[in-house]
Amino acid sequence: MADDWRTDRIGSALRGENPTVLRRLTAGFAVIGDVQFLPGYSVLLADAPHVERLSDLPRAKRLAFLSDMDHLGEAVERVSRRADPAFRRVNLEILGNTDGFLHAHVWPRFGWEPADVVGRPVWLYPRDRWSDARFALGPRHDPLRRAIADELAHLHAED
């Protein structure tokens, strides 16, 4: 599979070509992360490719994006809690320091994480975690993908 979608994650999601998409939400796309050293890591992509920051959105769309972030965070939390008794919490982050498009990170956190990073931001993990093939998203993550997508559908039905 070509990785062209990686250069235009939002555009490829809008075209139905982004293979990481879990579900279309109100103001964006829930996607599973490219790396899974913390199983369940997901990202919310805004559905407006040229929006760089939350404050660029009109108020109603901004609130919809934050609601989508809440739904994705809750879905990841529910799935992580069921899958791993060492699950601790979910961290939600809107950073935008590297990628110039609006997105939010949803990081599940676990008690088995190394002591030097368990209470610190995920970004302080060693660089090899981000590039090691052992943690790359692949077919073995399909059950996790389905579980998060199912939780998102369930939460959408509750609204």
Compute the distance between CA of residue 83 and CA of residue 26 in angstroms, rounded to an integer: 27
Amino acid at 109: R
Instruction: Determine the pLDDT at residue 60.
Output: 97
Average pLDDT, the chain: 93
The pLDDT of residue 1 is: 43
- Residues 118/124, Cβ–Cβ less than 8 Å: no
How much is the average pLDDT of 11-30?
95
Mean pLDDT (whole number) for 97-104? 87
Structural Rg of the chain based on CA atoms = 15
Arithmetic mean of pLDDT, 115-143: 93
In 9-127, alpha helices (H): 9-14, 59-83
Q: What domains lie within the chain, and their CATH numbers?
A: 4-158 (3.30.428.10)
pLDDT, position 2? 55
- Judge contact between 148 and 124, C-beta under 8 A: no
- Residue 134 has a pLDDT of 94
Range from 64-78, 88-102, 138-152 carrying the lowest mean pLDDT: 88-102
